[in-house]
Structure 1
Amino acid sequence: MDKIKLITDSTCDLTQELIEKYDIHVLPLSVHIGDKSYKDGESITLTEMYEGVEKGSAFPTTSQVNPQEFHDVYKKYLDEGYKIVSFHISALLSGTIQSAEIAKDMLETEDITIVDSKGVSGVLFLALVEAGEKIKAGGTLDEVVATLQETAEKVKLLVTFDTMEYLVKGGRVPKSVGAIGGFLGIKPLISIKEGKLEMVDKARGSKKALKSLLAFIDSTPRKKDSKVVVINSLDSEVNRAVISHLEKSGIGYHEIEVGCVLGVHAGPKLVGIFVLTD
């Protein structure tokens, strides 16, 4: 039976409980504010980061996991006899996959399989849970890789942003669009298609954005026994309403506050829904 190690990055937003349950190694991306750097999930919170922006500190930037970090972690598990499956944020959203590929080439091994999730956050979260269960059930390396790929493809998502400011400053939305959207109270509704963010609709105000999220929950078929993943970047009325709706509907869920790396691009009060379909 294959001895398999799952490795991922901090954009997966897995809970510590699930990381320990499936023995997953999570490599952090980095956040940079002025001349200071922080590993995602360490040393700085979303609240502190957003408060710093409001007070006029340098706007945060982010960077991928570097090849040397991958090399060192890969070598550790290879030396312990593992075959590695390394599953990461979309290559079109981060250079993390490229770093992983460089590290694999440095080690000159075929015992590392690198998989592009073509997504972020809940896409990785749900796929890693399924893969973790497959490993626990004695699945082969090929079966684990197939589980990751197939699950990621079946995750449907809808995310709404409370503000376009961070999307604009991060270069993901033109300034002109951000200015108009801010003035009109537009809340973009985003999904992911072929590894890229895609605006699927826009709502005028938070109430209409919430209505779209609830409609998405009610209309999206869920795989039996799979929980919905709800992400946020600080709590909000929209987030609370989504959680209330899930509870009233008897739908199991994981409520996750994203890390600072995703928070830099999302801005405060993002709410996202990820559903694993049949």
Structure 2
Amino acid sequence: MSGKIKIFADSTCDLPSNWIEEYDIGIVPLYVVFGENSLRDGVDITTTELYAKVEETGNLPKTAAPSPSDFIAAFSPAIEQGDDIIYISISSELSSSYQNAIIAAGELPPGRVSVVDSRNLSSGIGLLVMKAVHAAKEGSSVTQIVDLLNRSTNQVECEFVIDTLEYLYKGGRCSGMQNLIGSLLKIRPVIKVVNGSMTPAYKVRGKKEKALDQMLSNALENVNDMDNDLIIVVHSMAESEARFLQKALQEKTGAKQVIISTAGCVISSHCGPQTTGLMYMKKPN
């Protein structure tokens, strides 16, 4: 069918692959870079392969945004078949994906590509993508969907429990002494997305289960303010922890859907294995 609105995101949206296929969501992959090799997230390399390569080399990859030409190549087929495009990017505070998509949109026929800064990452983006998908299905216009997204970005709540400081340390995000002390004291940092950036929210000392309980408790304090359409639990090699959160959220929130998704290579390269995240949206003010 031509003449529809096609929703695009990038590979950091961490939505289940079956949803991406079912809802015909366009995905533009970011890159993970090992030395001279640039690999497309989820296309040329999987999260399991990423961790094996880090273990083998002792080095973390760098990450890179899609280029404007990558976006043009991704968007052009949809435009040629008559679709209008809404692309929802990873936060502009974390990547140049947003800026590069703006450049690409300027090279394509005027008015055909709308670019929205999610101000989020991982399945926090995914929540916004699904809002856009359902709005488009219900017949909303491009302008209406973009307005909805811009109003909704600050309603997303996004927290991660990081199991190890090693990846944050290797990525230059904490000092060696912090890494040593954190390991000795078994400190579990919790990362929250605030104003489009990753911010240490708090630290929990002890077992990971304690940090998961704290993250769950924080979410349940907002249960009356939750948009109960969808809650997403995302993980990187931590399926049992994700299932624990899913079960508790299903029992205590009344949400229509609580799904589990897996983190892609870009998110995993920054947070490391055994990371578990919880994302939901608050009701509109």
- Per mean C-alpha deviation after superposition, the further-off stretch among 45-54 and 20-29 is 45-54
Q: 2-side partners of 1:142 and 1:264: how far apart?
A: 35
1:68-121: per-residue Cα shift (whole Å, max 9, x none)?
A: 011122232222222221110001111111211221223362322111000011
TM-score, normalised by the number of residues in structure 1: 0.91
Partner of 1:261: 266
Partner of 2:229: 226
| SS at structure 2 position matched to 1:55 | helix
Structure 1 residues 77, 110: closer, same or farther in 2, change over 3 A?
Answer: same
Give yes or no for contact 2:41–2:265 (8 Å, CA) kept in 1.
Answer: yes
CA shift for structure 1 position 126: 0.8
Q: 2-side partners of 1:190 and 1:41: how far apart?
A: 23
Partner of 1:203: 204
Structure 2: which amino acid aligns with 1:230?
A: V
Structure 1 residues 70, 224: closer, same or farther in 2, change over 3 A?
Answer: closer
Q: 2-side partners of 1:57 and 1:224: how far apart?
A: 42
CA shift for structure 1 position 261: 1.0
- Per mean C-alpha deviation after superposition, the further-off stretch among 44-53 and 119-128 is 44-53
Partner of 1:63: 64
Partner of 1:167: 168
- Per mean C-alpha deviation after superposition, the further-off stretch among 159-168 and 212-221 is 212-221
Q: 2-side partners of 1:78 and 1:48: how far apart?
A: 34
Partner of 1:90: 91
CA shift for structure 1 position 247: 4.2
Partner of 1:18: 19
Structure 1 residues 43, 107: closer, same or farther in 2, change over 3 A?
Answer: closer
CA shift for structure 1 position 125: 0.8
Partner of 2:280: 275
Q: 1-side partners of 2:109 and 2:141: how far apart?
A: 22
Over the aligned positions, Cα root-mean-square deviation in angstroms equals 2.1
Partner of 1:114: 115
Give yes or no for contact 1:158–1:213 (8 Å, CA) kept in 2.
Answer: yes
Structure 1: which amino acid aligns with 2:145?
A: V
Structure 1: which amino acid aligns with 2:221?
A: S
Partner of 2:245: 242
Partner of 1:213: 215
- Per mean C-alpha deviation after superposition, the further-off stretch among 158-167 and 50-59 is 50-59
TM-score, normalised by the number of residues in structure 2: 0.89
Structure 2: which amino acid aligns with 1:129?
A: M
Alignment of 1:69-148 (within 5 A): 69-107=70-108, 109-148=110-149
| SS at structure 2 position matched to 1:217 | helix
Q: 1-side partners of 2:4 and 2:241: how far apart?
A: 43
Structure 1 residues 224, 262: closer, same or farther in 2, change over 3 A?
Answer: closer
Give yes or no for contact 1:34–1:58 (8 Å, CA) kept in 2.
Answer: no
Q: Which runs of 5+ in 2 are unaligned?
A: none
Q: 2-side partners of 1:199 and 1:145: how far apart?
A: 30
- Per mean C-alpha deviation after superposition, the further-off stretch among 268-277 and 48-57 is 48-57
Q: Which runs of 5+ in 1 are unaligned?
A: none
Structure 1 residues 140, 236: closer, same or farther in 2, change over 3 A?
Answer: closer
1:111-150: per-residue Cα shift (whole Å, max 9, x none)?
A: 2211100001122111111111111111011111122222
